[in-house]
């Protein structure tokens, strides 16, 4: 199948696949960061205030925020797939 394509089309498809991979990786990393940052802030706040409740609240909030972020990631990936199918 790829032998049917001229070299320019092969280069274009190769660049497109790299773009898709990097895009997906960056979205997953963003969701991970969204999940961990509130927990880390809660940890440091607990250390500053000598409590132990904010780390739990932070990680719970991080899970909720990451879940919402993951829904947006899946929605965008679905839209990208629909556009690719239309081409």
Which of the pair, 2 or 81, is modelled with greater confidence? 81
Determine the pLDDT at residue 3.
55
Cβ neighbours, 10 Å, residue 22 = 10
pLDDT value at 4 more than 70: no
Domain ranges of the chain: 2-86
Largest distance between two CA atoms of the chain: 67
Cβ neighbours, 10 Å, residue 82 = 9
Q: Which of 66, 72, 84 is nearest to 20 (CA)?
A: 84
Tell me if the pTM is above 0.85. no
Determine the pLDDT at residue 53.
95
pLDDT digits (tens, 9 = 90+) for 22-53: 888 898 899 899 899 999 999 999 999 999 99
Determine the pLDDT at residue 13.
78
CA atoms of 27 and 43, how far apart (whole Å) = 25
């Amino acid at each position: 199948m790829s032998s049917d394509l001229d070299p320019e089309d092969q280069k274009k498809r190769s660049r497109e696949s790299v773009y898709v991979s990097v895009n997906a990786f960056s979205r997953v990393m963003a969701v991970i960061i969204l999940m961990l940052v509130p927990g880390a802030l809660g940890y440091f706040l607990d250390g500053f205030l000598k409590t132990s409740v904010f780390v739990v609240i932070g990680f719970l909030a991080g899970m909720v925020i990451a879940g919402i972020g993951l829904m947006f990631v899946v929605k965008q990936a679905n839209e990208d797939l629909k556009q690719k199918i239309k081409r």
